[in-house]
Chains A and B, each alone.
Chain A
């Protein structure tokens, strides 16, 4: 093998190594890195999306400003997680009683193709009266989820139907729209209720 061939091979190997390193950097730390999934939601004031509530009114993140809010994602064709979350939340609201009179409690569907305004209205009517149900177009749903850093995905099930994987945490915001914490799915009442009280208390201090 001539010296020239060796050099060529050497250069090629060095080139491949450099390219590998570059690709590695690009995918891990560089512009090609995946978006971190578990980020904090944006403040409501920085979100932009438009939906329809259970009464047919046009709503968006600005509708929630002025009072503390509790927002969560789900869908009404969900047999387990969503009714459990809605009944958990109904129980927390019952515990808090009059303290939550001014709180916004919003259930946003990740399945707007099946969850119409009427469907959402009927569904939320079975739970605590403070719970609102918002639905929008596929685009607006994606914008809303992006703002809350929530994720969702349609998953086919046996028989041609589908279900939705989705973020099941409940997001808390203060009256100014600042993110104020998360209540995890199925978190026990003794942890969840004090978290809500804390948000309500902060809001009271700021406005007084």
Chain B
């Protein structure tokens, strides 16, 4: 199982590792504290969290996600209204101003991993590619923690 994930990860990273042209800004993006929760099977959507930091002088726009793990990865946001009702919906593009960062964390934004193709197993990692408006991409290895995990530090 682990080797299958690794093989897919490798194949995928080779694929996304092809030279990306006209990168302006996205090469200054750093992803920190990425983590995800293990899944029960593949029927339920998964979620991944991280901090996306823009270390460069120009704003950078995150336009989408890709991963071999899920057919429909997308950034969603949870909002809770004055009556305590929580709802969730797609965020769309996220522009990160120069020198700032965007946090994907429980109860706020998260990488929603819809249509899981592979069960998310605690202790493994999976590659998640961030696609930017300038055509640049960044692939990070996301560690999978337990279902009851609360954050990147355990």
Contact = CB atoms under 8 A, between A and B. Distances in A.
Nearest to B147: A126
A107 B147 CA distance: 16
A6 interface: no
Interface stretch (B22-30, B41-49, B56-64, B135-143): B41-49
Nearest to A128: B148
B80 A88 contact: no
B37 interface: yes
Interface residues of B, number: 32
Interface in A73-120: 76-81, 83-84, 86-88, 90-91
A168 B84 contact: yes
Nearest to A149: B83
A154 B47 CA distance: 20
A40 interface: no
Q: Is the interface of A mostly helix, strand, loop or mixed?
A: loop
B76 interface: yes
B78 to A, nearest CB: 5
Given A80-B110, A83-B148, A182 B84 contact: yes
B43 A77 contact: yes
Interface string B128-154: 000000000000000000111110000
Q: Is the interface of B mostly helix, strand, loop or mixed?
A: strand
A185 B3 CA distance: 39
B98 interface: no
A110 B87 CA distance: 13
Interface string B13-24: 000000000000
A34 interface: no
Interface residues of A, number: 35
A159 to B, nearest CB: 6
Interface in A125-151: 126-127, 151
A38 B86 contact: no
A165 B85 CA distance: 7
Interface string B59-89: 0000000000000101010101011111110
Contacts of A91: 150
Contact of B83 (A78, A83, A90, A167): A167
B148 A80 contact: no
A29 B110 CA distance: 41
A185 B106 CA distance: 11
B112 interface: yes
Given A38-B82, A167-B85, A84 B114 contact: no
Interface of B: 37, 40, 43-47, 72, 74, 76, 78, 80, 82-88, 90, 106-107, 110, 112-115, 146-150
